[in-house]
Structure 1
Amino acid sequence: MKSNISGGLVHELPADLAKSLTEKDVLSIWETLSPIGRNEFICWVEDAKQEKTRLRRIIRTIEELQEGKKRPCCWAGCIHRTDKKPSNWQQDVLIAKKTNKSDTK
Structure 2
Amino acid sequence: MESFPHGTVHQAGEDLQAALRADPQLLGLWEKLTPIGRNEFICWVEDAKQAATRERRIARLCQELAEGNKRPCCWVGCIHRTDKKPGAWQQAVLIDKVKKKQP
TM over 0.5: yes
Trace 1:19-98 onto structure 2 (pairs within 5 A): 19-25=18-24, 26-92=26-92, 94-98=93-97
**Matched pairs, number:** 102
* CA-CA distance at 1:24 after TM superposition: 2.7
Matched AA of 1:80: H
Unaligned runs of 5+ in 2: none
Provide the C-alpha distance between the structure 2 equivalents of 1:74 and 1:89, rounded to a whole number of angstroms: 11
CA contact (8 A) 1:24 1:62 kept: no
Provide the C-alpha distance between the structure 1 equivalents of 2:89 and 2:71, rounded to a whole number of angstroms: 18
Q: What percent identity do the matched residue pairs reach?
A: 57
* CA-CA distance at 1:53 after TM superposition: 0.7
TM-score, scaled to structure 1: 0.92
1:72-103 Cα distance to aligned partner (Å, 9 max, x none): 011110000000111122112x1011111111
> How much is the aligned-residue C-alpha RMSD, in angstroms?
1.2
1:23-62 Cα distance to aligned partner (Å, 9 max, x none): 1331111000000000000000000111111100000000
Q: Write out the 4+ residue segments of structure 1 that deviate beyond 4 Å after TM superposition.
A: none
Provide the C-alpha distance between the structure 2 equivalents of 1:97 and 1:56, rounded to a whole number of angstroms: 24
TM-score, scaled to structure 2: 0.94
Trace 1:4-15 onto structure 2 (pairs within 5 A): 4-15=3-14
Provide the C-alpha distance between the structure 2 equivalents of 1:29 and 1:15, rounded to a whole number of angstroms: 18
